[in-house]
Structure 1
């Protein structure tokens, strides 16, 4: 509950002025008369006032010096300060206002005028606080709404990726593991400001949330091809390659139905570009080098690494070291050389991600 009486600190090195000021104000306010800036700061350690009446001409610490200290301290910077002065100098008033004072009152002061000025400024301070509280509450509502949108987006992602996982019997855990690899590389890229022109405007959470949709186009690939227990024939592989374009089309269809699609913009790029190769020999568009979006270059490493360490009906799983070795051999051909060089530091994190994700999936299957 807000206190009924406001607190005012009156700072003046003249005891007569202090006594006169307290007499004028004591019927409406709790008044603390203080003879110096030093005594003001000592009292502020115990009591937070609603307003400070501050004399300018004081020995040791002038009013200007006091307000400079007040306005640089987060504990005190919001306390309204009215200067008390016997000067009639617009330049001095401007200086005080520029330091953060809200008003000037000339000495000797008229009791009705002083009371009215204080009343007005206390009212303005209360309204300012109410506005701040309103804005803080509004910001909280916006944050809550944002969390709801992210939760909805994640629900869409989970549903769609589960559909892909359910149909593609050969790639269990692929989506979870590749999301982890991309996140590992992106944290390094953000921290070291690599490709900063690309990533500086990206929302990290949206970017990571969009990774699982990179294979969503497989929904349109027939089970006969998707789950063939052996290597694909050339004509079958041509059909499989279309999943990149199918993924883009599926995500575009979702984007047309919602305005909240920042994360889907990333998802579309992941879906369409993750099979492009640095030397231009990839698909679906044969993009080369930096013409391949960074999302696609990141996903290429994550996707191939996971494919190499995973068992398939037509091949055995490679070891972590063998997979990293193959990716290094593909530097400048299949993969972005800058991203491959990151593996010198990140390869152990890839292995940890694989082990943790596989353990989590086994525990979920048992539950």
Structure 2
């Protein structure tokens, strides 16, 4: 086998010349070096594969078809199979009487071909055309990468603004009810646990995919937004409510849903989470057995997102102190929730709560007493 050698320079565009004939390498190398290209040369296929991966990565390969160790077609296929070299354009070098080889090379995906003996003007024109085309592709790739990065940045920024706006609205309602503490943080975390625990369950597989779970978690803080419309003498009453006051308090579910619906109507293309937030706000006090409010929905007629919030909201009320009661111990709260399986709560949602109870307890401990 002939020895394999390499030559190079320090110019801006790099060409790799591959030919087993030294005279061809010399003629092409001098022509292209004089034209301002950095030139690498290899006189066998193995060397070509080696040098194609070394910095600077070639911008173009001029590849002889007929070589003794590894022919040009195999070199080409191996270049295409390597992630480092697969995008380098290749011009095949072929004899005048090798029309079938030209067609085969172009069929493999070669960028062009040059016939031997070479004609300097043709070589320079075709090399320039491929270099210009690669420069344009590289520029488009850089632009696309920039645009993708910018779109991702702006989407993340919009998501953050949306999340902060939701939190601000939710805290507005929470500020009017001084006993709720970190209720928003805890219930959002409970809902996340329940949704993730149920996403592979046959009953919930279609309704709790990753996108749906994201919307539920995003919307959860707005479940009590309707409390903004409840008079202070009821919402902030330091004790149990009368029957009449309780009737007013219950309207917060409808008030919250109506407020979100008005927001939807004000926007030409409302964000998807508002529909989920509206369902949560209206229906998180519905019960599995139909004895809840405001619509007396039962079973699967209750939106899934509201079923998750129903359990999260009640559990947090049980483990949180109020002026009219102490916080129930965690284990007692677990027993009380379990007792409402199939009555207040969806049976499978209850099972997910029981199975993941340790994580629920950790959330309570982490966020209790931190305002």
* TM-score (normalizing by structure 1): 0.87
**Pair 1:306 & 2:316 matched:** yes
**Pair 1:292 & 2:302 matched:** yes
Q: CA deviation at 1:88?
A: 0.8
1:365 is aligned to none
**Pair 1:36 & 2:44 matched:** yes
- Aligned-partner SS, 1:38: helix
Q: Report Cα offsets for 1:105-161 as digits up to 9, x if no partner.
A: 333332211211111111111111111222222223322322332233233223212
**Pair 1:96 & 2:134 matched:** no
* Equivalent-residue separation in structure 2 for 1:46 and 1:154 (angstroms): 45
The CA RMSD measured in Å over matched residues stands at 2.5
- Aligned-partner SS, 2:322: coil
- The within-5 A match list for 1:142-161 is 142-161=151-170
1:74 to 1:273, Cα distance in 2 relative to 1, 3 A: farther
- Aligned-partner SS, 1:106: strand
Q: Report Cα offsets for 1:61-108 as digits up to 9, x if no partner.
A: 3333323332333322222222223331265144311xxx32233333
**Pair 1:221 & 2:230 matched:** yes
Runs of 4+ residues deviating >6 angstroms: 191-194
Unpaired segments ≥5 residues, structure 1: 363-367
- The within-5 A match list for 1:1-367 is 5-28=12-35, 29-43=37-51, 44-86=53-95, 87-89=98-100, 91-97=103-109, 101-190=110-199, 195-200=204-209, 202=211, 205-258=214-267, 259=269, 261-358=271-368, 361=370
* Equivalent-residue separation in structure 1 for 2:11 and 2:195 (angstroms): 55
Return 317-326 or 256-265, whichever deviates more: 256-265
- Aligned-partner SS, 2:39: strand
* TM-score (normalizing by structure 2): 0.87
- Aligned-partner SS, 2:99: coil
1:145 to 1:103, Cα distance in 2 relative to 1, 3 A: same
Task: Indicate the structure (1 or 2) with the bigger Cα radius of gyration.
Answer: 2
- Aligned-partner SS, 1:61: coil
* Equivalent-residue separation in structure 2 for 1:279 and 1:55 (angstroms): 79
* Equivalent-residue separation in structure 1 for 2:230 and 2:277 (angstroms): 19
Q: CA deviation at 1:225?
A: 2.1
* Equivalent-residue separation in structure 2 for 1:56 and 1:198 (angstroms): 58
* Equivalent-residue separation in structure 2 for 1:69 and 1:234 (angstroms): 81
